[in-house]
Amino acid sequence: MKLLSSITAFFAVLFFATNIVAELSHNHDVTTEYSVDNETTIMKYEPEIEWNRDQLELSIGTLISIYDSSATDSFMLFDTLDEGSRPDVNLELTYDMGDMIPLPVEVYGKTSWDIDASERKDIKLGATISF
């Protein structure tokens, strides 16, 4: 019951936040994948909230495992809130430099927060040139 309440509250916040603030958006990806060589199936859910302002974008998301046929307990969704199984919270800030220089360059900084260990993971800074 606690999990259902948490999930309901999460989706309510996403719905109301994106309808009130036009610069916020949310994405939900559910991916199912079958590995032919290993004969395993996985399913994962990736919710993400994005804030866009001109060339600046901030995104916060996570990866939640739903199913893994190779695991002892295949259906993993209900283990998400258990200690040791909590997903990391990913944070990424990107800036499109296309208006400043004549190349399609995007610079970024990203990190994640390990909920179980209560610590920040590695910070990565980089740039992407698209062509």
Higher-confidence residue: 58 or 20?
58
Q: What is the pLDDT of residue 17?
A: 60
Q: pTM of this prediction? A: 0.69
Distance of alpha carbon 105 from alpha carbon 64, whole angstroms = 31
pLDDT of residue 105 exceeding 80, the answer is: yes
Query: What region, left, alpha or beta, does residue 84 occupy, with left being phi > 0 and alpha being psi -120 to 50 degrees?
Result: left
- Mean pLDDT, range 113-126, rounded to an integer: 92
Q: What is the pLDDT of residue 86?
A: 86
What's the rounded Cα separation, in Å, for the pair 35 and 116?
29
